[in-house]
Structure 1
Amino acid sequence: MIRSSVLLLTALFWASGAAAMGPWKPSGCHGETPCELEGRSYHVMAPEDWDGVSPLPVLLHFHGWSRTGRHAQKSERIGDSVKRRGVLLVTPNGRNKTWDFWPVETEDTEFADAVLVDVARRYPVDRDRIYVSGYSYGSAMAWRYVCRSGNDVAALLAVAGTIQQDESCPEAPREVRHVHGLKDTVMDFPYGPGGEPSYSVALWRARLGCGTARALGQWQVVEFLKLDRTVWSDCAQGQVVLDTHPGGHFIPHGWIGRQLDELLNLTPSYP
């Protein structure tokens, strides 16, 4: 398997446990200072009011085209939302500010695996709460990553980007949450035959063995944007959540934060 050696290393670091690390100390790379790794780099940002000891949930986020991991950290809709919820934000930098998500086998998947191993060297990580997200090209990369390396991922939080729905994924996260604008013309919303909107998550519905959908109606975080939610919760494994909105290509205000609130059993808040 493409990540067998990385999995072995990961297991060794997870097994060491947070307690063995002792209180966290700055490692020289944090925030705008990138962590160098295998000729590439990533950014990491600890949450507010962290005690330096407690194991941290992790959000591995893939930035959009022409951006960097630092852009995601500075974003109110990503960075601000993540750090105030006790989650460690990890944002890899794509080569040439983009991601190679088109082929089934891509070095970007292996790089992301190596990033998680390196993060576990530096921080006490809660291995049961590893989340993966992305926006636009980064969302497609997040799909690709969990398709190839997602068995240890608690949830995919994808925004406005997918891979082909007829692909076969050897691995999968325990839960999938995807949001997309119906008028997106950058990474077009993948309607199915006859304009069927649920086709946009057909890959994960098939992979997780999901049955009948439940329409939960509209919900919103901000007044000017309502989202329609459909859930497949009777899956053989986990569940799939699809949020759609009438807009275009953007990260909806409060969406990342609301998903983390629900996954972490926190009181919903904004941002």
Structure 2
Amino acid sequence: MKYIAAALCALTSPALACGDAETPCEIDQGSYHINTPDNAEGPVPAVLFLHGAGGKGTGILRMGGPMLERGYAVIGPNGMDRPGRFGTGWSFHPDRPQQRDEIEFIRAVIDDAVENHGIDRDRILLGGFSIGGSMASYLACDAPDVARAYAPVAGSFWRPHPAMDSCEGPVDLLHTHGWRDKTVPLEGRPLRNGVIHQGDVFQGMQIWRETNNCAGMRADTFETSGDFWRRKWETCENGSLEFVLHQGAHGIPKGWSTMAMDWFESLE
């Protein structure tokens, strides 16, 4: 059936064929949801967002209003159905069995969205929440050319952290995290009686500084006005790197989408 649905996506109007909450777009490796701005002309930028454990790609459709109003499409790939407590997730951990080639899957989602939904391949911001944020981080490390820039929220690398020189190339990356996050603490924590360990977000930022050949460990500029505390490294040879904290816990903070789009557009 999924091959029939995929054929329909290619042969009929994208808005009518697939992508909404009821009818995901099916591709060989899985499925995704998409919504495009009204009256869009020409290829449009997109925010591709990876859901957390137990979530679905429809989540970005519910929070995508400000993005659509600003002329962005929103794309929500679906994680794999996995047995256990949460039900859905990503094969993100490099030291555990890979149940799906997630890089290949995300590339296939983008290819399909470009071909059938008018997405601009060169203007894709790839974000994710919680485990989706971890997945976004590993994608940025292993295949930085998948998207124009990356914006993980409340999720980073897991232990053992990637080696300092192991990421494939420089990236533009905006990491956002809650100061009071207990689900994915900034320092990480053990899970499953110590079988696996979340990573240290500060260590993750050091990996990105090494990847982007930043001149120093300390951030170059600081901003503490408003709802976000922002640290930016501006003396890097390549890429753009920013670390944002908010006062909340484990969640996507109010105003994140506007902040992320402002940052993304500042790269161009």
> TM-score, normalization: structure 1?
0.76
Kindly state the Cα deviation for residue 164 of structure 1 after the two structures are TM-superposed. Answer: 3.7
Is the CA contact 1:189–1:200 (under 8 Å) kept in the aligned structure 2? Answer: no
| Contact 1:156-1:173 at 8 Å conserved across structures | no
Of 145, 167, 172, the match for 2:162: 167
User: CA–CA distance in 2 between the matches of 1:187 and 1:179?
Assistant: 12
Q: Do residues 181 (structure 1) and 187 (structure 2) align?
A: no
* Equivalent AA in structure 1 for residue 131 of structure 2: Y
In 2, distance between residues paired with 1:200 and 1:245? 18
Counting only pairs closer than 5 Å after superposition, residues 76-91 of structure 1 correspond to structure 2 as 79-91=64-76
Which residue does 1:71 correspond to in 2?
59
- Residue 98 of structure 1 is aligned with which of 65, 82, 89? 89
**Counterpart amino acid of 1:188?**
P
- Structure with more contact order per residue of length (Cα contacts < 8 Å, sep ≥ 6): 1
Please say if residues 109 and 144 of structure 1, whose CA atoms lie closer than 8 Å, have aligned partners that are also in contact: no
Q: What is the aligned counterpart of 1:121 among 83, 90, 115?
A: 115
Alignment correspondent of 1:111: 105
Is the contact made by 2:169 and 2:211 (CA closer than 8 Å) also made in structure 1?
A: yes
Aligned twin of 1:9: none
- In the alignment, residue 159 of structure 1 is paired with which amino acid? V
**Cα pair 1:217 1:230 within 8 Å, conserved:** yes
- Please say if residues 60 and 74 of structure 2, whose CA atoms lie closer than 8 Å, have aligned partners that are also in contact: no
For structure 2, list consecutive stretches of 5 or more residues without a partner in the other structure.
1-12, 82-87, 189-199
Identity over aligned pairs, percent: 29
Aligned match of 1:241: 242
Runs of 4+ aligned residues of structure 1 deviating over 4 Å after TM superposition are none
Contact map agreement 2:231 2:242 (CA 8 A) in 1:
yes
Partner residue of 2:33 out of 34, 43, 53 = 43
Stretches of structure 1 lacking an aligned partner (at least 5 in a row): 1-23, 221-225, 266-271
TM-score normalised per structure 2:
0.77
**Please, which moves more after superposition, 117-126 or 98-107?**
98-107
For the 8 Å contact 1:157–1:256, the answer to whether it is kept is no
